Chains A and B, each alone.
Chain A
Amino acid sequence: MPDKIALSTRSLTASFSGKTAVRDISLDFDDHTVTAIIGPSGCGKSTFLRCLNRMHELTPGGTVTGSVMLDGEDIYSASSEPVELRKKVGMVFQKPTPFPTMSIYKNVAAGLLVADKKPDPSRETEIVEKALRGAGLWDEVGDRLKSSAMSLSGGQQQRLCIARAIAPEPKVLLLDEPTSALDPISTQRIEELVHVLKKDFTVIAVTHNMQQASRISDTTAFFYMGDLIEAGPTDLLFTNPSNSRTEDYITGRFG
């Protein structure tokens, strides 16, 4: 496993209108690995994720201190632009969010419109196909790229959103509870997909489902009430947690 660090946070603290949601988090994410962030609801795991592509500051009252290093630069430095950053850090949300006015094709190509170098039409077609294949959706929609994205099932819509997120070839892919709105079969497909995705991306996934975390991730971080309690290799954390609260959580004593 390559252990080059793709993204790291230092003393990251995030709050809503003065109320701290995430406290002093320093965490490294290795290149081409899947990191799962687990913890009970309200523990700050989604807020933490949203700090990594500067989405948190869009929430009214949301503020961030500390730093997040990507490619040797702090994404919160004054010279960093959130809009540019987000092209490098893709995100998939809890509920599928296809753009309802666009076709399947246009949805996947949506991120390419704002790419630094806009691909020409034939290249764009290639990228869209590659992204749809990457998201495991090509076989199902390859023959109807022009139909509305809303004609897809919930699970297909979520994979379409993954395709849309990976089409611009970001470095990091953030998944915010990507299967919590899906049925078991769709969930399974996305879990399988995550394994494939880490070949090309660094994946950071928030999940409230511990089984899922153990199935998909290489590394797991456990959050509790805004604090990072413990982080480490997934098999180790689940079999031999070093902190008693981690143990309580993964053995189902709370949360």
Chain B
Amino acid sequence: MSAWIATLHQTFIETGYWRQMLLGLQNTVYITLGALCIGVVVGALLAICKFFSEGNRALRPLELFCDLYTTIIRGIPMMVLLLVFFFVIFSGTRNKLGVCILAFGLNSAAYVAEVIRSGINAVDRGQMEAGRSLGMSKIQAMYKIVMPQAIRNILPAIGNELITLVKETSVAGYVGVMDLTKMGERAKSITFDAVNPLLVVALTYLIIVLGLTRLLKMAERRLNRDKR
């Protein structure tokens, strides 16, 4: 045990590499949070566009665009999408972190859109009708009646998406973004300690995911307080 602690000390403290590891963690958090924001905003927009364009002939192109978007994004592996963003769309960019956030965000948006759409569809149709029968517009009933209930269906699935996202960002190293995984890899090659950097990286992801799971549980419990 003490021999192991000595190795840890040697690998991270003596080399001063713990600072790089923290930097990597910071980048991973930035990418995740940034991508989550983009994902939720763009995803919600897509879902709402789809909701209002369904069955409305004038908005048919909008519906087609939303369908096309989710089909394309969901049909391409994240890794390939990232490479396309870096070497095709934004080739020669200096803001690697920004492009990375955008790529992960737009990827997430497709999944979030589907999650939100199915969450809205899962709310009983009678709820919208009850709102409309009182004189609410479609948007008012959506905002006041359907959405608050849909969020209950949506939140657990968004949580899943967030957890997937955290772990997916580990491929960011492929395009030279210094995320947690990349930093672990580098620590390995610099210190010749093949075990501990990866162990630390793996544990860090695990702790993040455990923390997120707890947060989500708490949020769910709050949202379900009327179901006691």
Same complex for A and B? Answer no
CB within 8 Å of B: which residues of A?
none
